[in-house]
Structure 1
Amino acid sequence: MAITAADVKALREKTGAGMMECKKALTECNGDSAEAEKYLKEKGLAAVAKRSERATTEGRLFIRQDGNKIYVVELTCETDFVAKNADFIALGEKMLDVIIAKGYTSVSDELKAMMEDLAVKIRENMAVSKVEVIEIPENSVGSFYIHSDKKTGAVVVISGSTSDAVKTFAYDCCLHIAAFTPSYISKKDVPQSYIDEQKEIFKAQMDQDEKMASKPENVKEGILIGKINKHLAEICFEDQMFVKDDKKTVIAKIAEVGKENGATLKFITAKLFVLGK
C-alpha cells in the first residue's frame, strides 16, 4: 500500500512522533494508520519503561478552587524543560477538570492513563505524584497561592467569617506560608520526639561552649528552654511574625482581623505544598 505524505502528517499529529518514525510505523503496518498508532505507542511505552528508574525531581503544581473545595495536583517529570512544556501544563489543567467533574480525591487509574499518554509522546519519565482535595466548611473562606516557579504553593482555610477582609487575610497567609515555609501550624502540632531531639542538639552545643559550662544548672536550663521556644516560634506558622506586619505574630494578626470584622476566626487549614515533598 502506498504511503503518502498526508498519511505521515496525520499520524504525526495524532501521536506527536517524528516524521521518520511515523513513516517507518506505517511501512511496518502496511499503511494501516490504527495499527501504526498502536505500534508507536508500544514503542513509546518501551522507551518510557527504560527511563522508569530516572528521578522525577522536576514538575509543576496545579491548584484551583471550585465551589467549596480547593484541588491540588502535582505532576513530576525528569527535566525543567518538560515541566514548562505547553502539553504538560495543559495536561495538569485537564486533570483538574476531570478531578472536579468525577469527584476524585486521590490518584486514579484514569489520571495515570492520561499521564502515560503524554509520557509516551514525550518519552520522559513522569507521574501524577499528588491529588489532594481540601474542603471549605460553611461560614469559612479558602484561598491559595502558587509561586512563580510553580514548585511551591500554599492553601489556607479560615473559619468564622466570609467577609472580603478575611478573604484577603487568607490570601496574605498563603503568601506568608510560601515565603517562610513553616513546618507546623502551631506548637501543639510539633511531636514531642522532635522537641526532645532539638533539646539534645542545643544541649550538646551549650556543653561545647566554655562560657556556658561555668553557669549554674538552673541558668543553663532556662537558656535551653529559651532556645527551644525561639526555635518553635521560627517553625510554627501561628508563632511566626506575619509577613505583612512584622510587629505581630500570625496568631495575633488573625485575632486582630477577627475583632475588626466582629468574628472569632480560626485556621482550619494552613498547608505548604513543595514539589516532591
Structure 2
Amino acid sequence: MANITAALVKELRDKTGAGMMDCKAALGEVDGDVEAAIDWLRKKGLAKAAKKAGRVAAEGLIGIAVAGTKGVLVEVNSETDFVARNEQFQDLVRSVAQVSLSTDGDVEAVKAAAYPGGATVADAISSAVATIGENMNLRRAAKLEVSAGAIGAYVHGSVGEGLGKIGVLVALESTGKADELAALGRQIAMHVAAANPQALDAAGVDADVIARERGVLAEKAAASGKPANVVEKIVESGLKTFFKEVTLVEQAFIHDPSKTVAQAVKESEGKVGAPIKIAGFVRFGLGEGVEKQESDFAAEVAAAAGV
C-alpha cells in the first residue's frame, strides 16, 4: 500500500481541480499512481480532464527567430528568474535562436553550431555560466520551414524582442500574399499560445491518448447502465468533443469563437489570394514538464537547528 502523502494529494488536486478528500480517496484506490488517479476521478465525474502540462517550474527564456519561410524556437533554462532578466542572458538566448536558423533544429546540432565570435553555442553557454555564476542549459529547440508561404510567430510574456515565457511558431503553406499570410500566422500563433492544442488534427493525436480517453468515456457511460450499442455512440460522440478541445483545426478560434480555426483559415484565402494549409505548429511554454524543487524555508531552518 503506497504512502499517500500531502504532496501527492496536492499534485492531484492541482491537476484535476477535484476536492481534497476525493483526491485522497482516488490515490488510495490506485496505490498512489497520480495518472491512474486522474482517470479514476474522471470516471467518477469528479474531474474535468487531466492537465498534462503541469505547472511551469523552470526559469529562463524562450527565444524565437524567423527568417523568410523558416523559424526556430529555443528554450534556455536558468536557475532563477533574476538571471532571465539579465541583459547578458537575454543576448545569449537571442543569439542562440538566430544561430539555430542555420541548423535542422536538433538540440545537439544547435549546441555544435558556430556562435558569433568563433566558439560553439555550447561554449557560449559554458562561458555565460562562468560569467553569470548560475547554471544554465539549452533544453530544447525546434524548427519549422515551408517551401512557399509564411511562418507566423508570437511570444507571450515578452521581455524583449523575440524573448518571453511562451513562444509559438505556425507554418502556413500558400502561394498567396506573404504579408497577409504572416499576419494570419501570428493570429493563429496567438491562438495556440492561449488554447495549447495537443495536435494539428485528429490524425495527429497520440494513439495512447485516444485509447485512454476512449476508456474513460466507455467506463463512465457503462456505469449509467446503458446498453452496449448506446455506450458506443456515447463514446464516439465524446471523442468528437474531445478532438474539438485538443486539435488546432477544430478548436474555436479565439479571435472569433463563432468559427473554428479551420474555418477562419478558409475564409482568409480570399484576402491572401490562394489556398492555405496549416503545415504545422510548435509551442514552447517555459519549464513545461520540469519540476523545480520547492523548499520549505521554515522546515530547513528547523532542520538546521536540530529541531
TM-score of the two chains, using structure 1 as the length reference: 0.72
The one-letter code of the counterpart of 1:169 is L
CA distance in 2, matches of 1:86, 1:261: 39
Q: How many residues align?
A: 216
Contact 1:58 1:83 in 2 (8 A): yes
Match of 2:287 in 1: 276
The one-letter code of the counterpart of 1:229 is K
The one-letter code of the counterpart of 1:62 is G
TM-aligned CA distance change 1:98 to 1:229, over 3 Å:
closer
Q: Which digits, 9 at most, give the CA deviation of each residue in 1:160-185, with x for residues without a partner?
A: 23423332211100000000000000
* 1:145 counterpart SS class: strand
Mapped pair 1:145 → 2:159: no
| Pairing partner for 1:180 from 195, 209, 217 | 195
Q: Which digits, 9 at most, give the CA deviation of each residue in 1:106-150, with x for residues without a partner?
A: 332411111111111222221011233322312x11110010152
Match of 1:195 in 2: 210
Unaligned runs of 5+ in 1: 1-55
* 1:107 counterpart SS class: helix
Match of 1:134 in 2: 144
The one-letter code of the counterpart of 1:183 is Q
Match of 1:12 in 2: none
Match of 1:243 in 2: 254
The one-letter code of the counterpart of 1:189 is G
The one-letter code of the counterpart of 1:127 is N
| Higher gyration radius (CA) | 1
TM-score of the two chains, using structure 2 as the length reference: 0.65
Mapped pair 1:117 → 2:96: no
TM-aligned CA distance change 1:221 to 1:133, over 3 Å:
closer
* 2:151 counterpart SS class: strand
Query: Comparing both structures, which one devotes a greater share of its residues to helix?
Result: 1
CA distance in 1, matches of 2:239, 2:219: 13
Report the CA distance between 1:242 and its aligned residue: 0.7
Contact 1:184 1:237 in 2 (8 A): yes
Mapped pair 1:205 → 2:213: no
CA distance in 1, matches of 2:99, 2:211: 45
* 1:108 counterpart SS class: helix
List 4+ stretches of structure 1 deviating above 3 A.
Answer: 96-100, 102-105, 259-262
Unaligned runs of 5+ in 2: 1-56, 113-119, 159-163, 289-307
CA distance in 2, matches of 1:66, 1:83: 25
Mapped pair 1:108 → 2:111: yes
